[in-house]
Structure 1
């Protein structure tokens, strides 16, 4: 059986974690949530090195799923990916989902199981800066990296709807059975 390395990228609030969990449940491949790693650090320069190293170690497995953006380490994941799933949603949809999940998480820490236990969100200036980042999310840099990978024969799947997400899960299951 050959390997299957899947990465899921997209703006905050696009549904990366949710889709990754669903694929994980169906395929039983190890899953790495990048938010879980990064938000367990002190965000220092040393943490950045540790963050990259943890991804490298995880990617040594035969099959895996990694979800998250983190543009600085995206080339590392793209170099190993067989399947790139890029979730695209509108800005307002992304903003609404981020605000909704933040409120939910504020009242129920179990609502985001991919987040480390010490993570907390505060509705302060830093949070508003984050919302500005979500709204102004620019796909151009990511697009360039993905296009380079596409030329090297990786499968790039751009997903824009729930129906497409459902079809994608079935397609991956069929591929798993064929490998």
Structure 2
């Protein structure tokens, strides 16, 4: 595992898993939210995002977490492992609200500088509708295109923890 692509709803734990795997495997972690957003919550164009992603995509190893379907085709071609965190909408919604309350006014390391934590009704609806609007329409198609990649789907917190424990055991021996 050298090039790992992590997909899933907001609040599914993509950033957390990426950081933990990056630490265990000593691989650089790239957060797509950090590449996409500019200070003041301004969006990058697809061309800008593609160019920012290109800075990492040809490296021998990376963990790139985040969806951004307009540019994931390149990641998919380069990834040797695709992880999809398919956690339920109740947990993801709870996590984004908890994260917001914990970080109000601050900027998380997985976001661009100048993008303090925020919450909108549209974002909550996005997370709530993710299974119907994104997973069923986009993610399943991507996973079916990942012929050369190892595809790992985790549907609950226990599966994620067991997956991480496997690496912890390998790297502590």
**Which TM class, normalised by the smaller chain length?**
0.7 to 0.9
Would you say the 8 A contact 2:88–2:155 is kept in 1?
no
TM-score normalized with structure 1 length: 0.83
Unaligned runs of 5+ in 1: none
Give the corresponding residue for 2:141. Answer: 144
Q: Aligned pairs, how many?
A: 165
How many Å separate the matches in 2 of 1:77 and 1:114? 18
Q: Per-residue deviation at 1:28?
A: 1.0
How many Å separate the matches in 2 of 1:175 and 1:144? 32
How many Å separate the matches in 2 of 1:79 and 1:53? 16
Taking a change above 3 Å as real, the CA distance of residues 57 and 76 of structure 1, as seen in their structure-2 partners, is same
TM-score normalized with structure 2 length: 0.85
> Which of these residues, 122, 127, 130, is aligned with residue 129 of structure 1?
122
Give the corresponding residue for 2:76. Answer: 78
Q: CA RMSD in A?
A: 2.1
Give the corresponding residue for 2:101. Answer: 103
Deviations 1:50-78 (A, max 9, x none): 11111122011111100001111121211
How many Å separate the matches in 2 of 1:78 and 1:34? 14
Taking a change above 3 Å as real, the CA distance of residues 148 and 173 of structure 1, as seen in their structure-2 partners, is farther
Give the corresponding residue for 2:116. Answer: 120
Deviations 1:1-44 (A, max 9, x none): xx711011001100000110101111110110011111226325
Give the corresponding residue for 1:20. Answer: 18
